[in-house]
Amino acid sequence: MCIICVAIVSKGLAQQNTTLKGGVFEQKTNLRISGATISNQKTGQTQLTDDRGLFSIKAQIGDTLRIFKEGYAENQVALTSLSDVIINLTPVIALDEVTVVGKNKNQEMQDIMNDYRKKGTFYNGKPPVLSYIFTPITALYELFGRTPRNARNFQKYMNNEVQQQVVDQKFNKEIVAQHTGLSGEDLTNFMAWYRPSFEKAQYWNEYDVIDYLQKSLAQFNKDKRPKAESLPKLEIPPQHK
């Protein structure tokens, strides 16, 4: 009886002390990823991949490994065996890349507001045709006019435009397609249904974006991928010659 007890205890200790080996690679390119963090969610132990993208960590069947590195979407792997494991990480689109364009547009709109305070109007209300091509934001000034009321309307437009740019940095076709796998009509419908508000998206980091997309995709699939609501059809009255 004692021999059996010792055997069971020994087996348990051996299982706890098993060293799992694996490698982390970039999705599609299969490039090795060094410096990725491997975290055993059960034991709390963490390891980094070496220059060859390889790692070893204490683990047992049933543990969950969390793998992450800046610039890549986080991955989690539930261990069903202790064989060497290959883990792929998908590069994420740097949200800051869109910021440069946004700043330029914001500056253009702010310049218009400054001109409202200084000049009154551009080009005496008749902007050259080329101004619509090279500075479309400036051309909007003429559409809103130069009165105080219209200046306030432009301020509201500008505020909303800036807010939508923030949302676009974190919720656009490229990012959504990458993290949901959707394309075509499904992608268009998903973006129409699940575009977040500025209030919700303004404080998101990359992980928040991915988490929101994954949860929204689950609901989208649960609802059988509904089509986006279409705008009401406008009845055009007949034209009499």
For residues 178 and 192, is the Cβ–Cβ distance under 8 A? no
Alpha-carbon span 221 to 78, nearest angstrom: 23
Q: Across residues 83-90, what is the average pLDDT?
A: 92
Reading phi first (left if > 0) and then psi (alpha if -120 to 50, else beta), residue 110 is in alpha
| Farthest-apart Cα atoms in the chain, separation | 106
Selected from 2.60.40.2470, 1.10.760.10, 2.60.40.1120, 1.10.10.10, the CATH number assigned to the domain covering 21-89 reads 2.60.40.1120
Q: Which two three-digit tokens encode residue 193?
A: 């249904």
| pLDDT tens-digit series, residues 121-158 | 444 444 444 444 444 555 555 555 555 566 666 667 77
Residue 4 clears pLDDT 80, i.e. is over it: no
Q: What confidence score (pLDDT) does residue 130 get?
A: 44
pTM over the 0.85 mark: no
Q: What confidence score (pLDDT) does residue 13 get?
A: 45
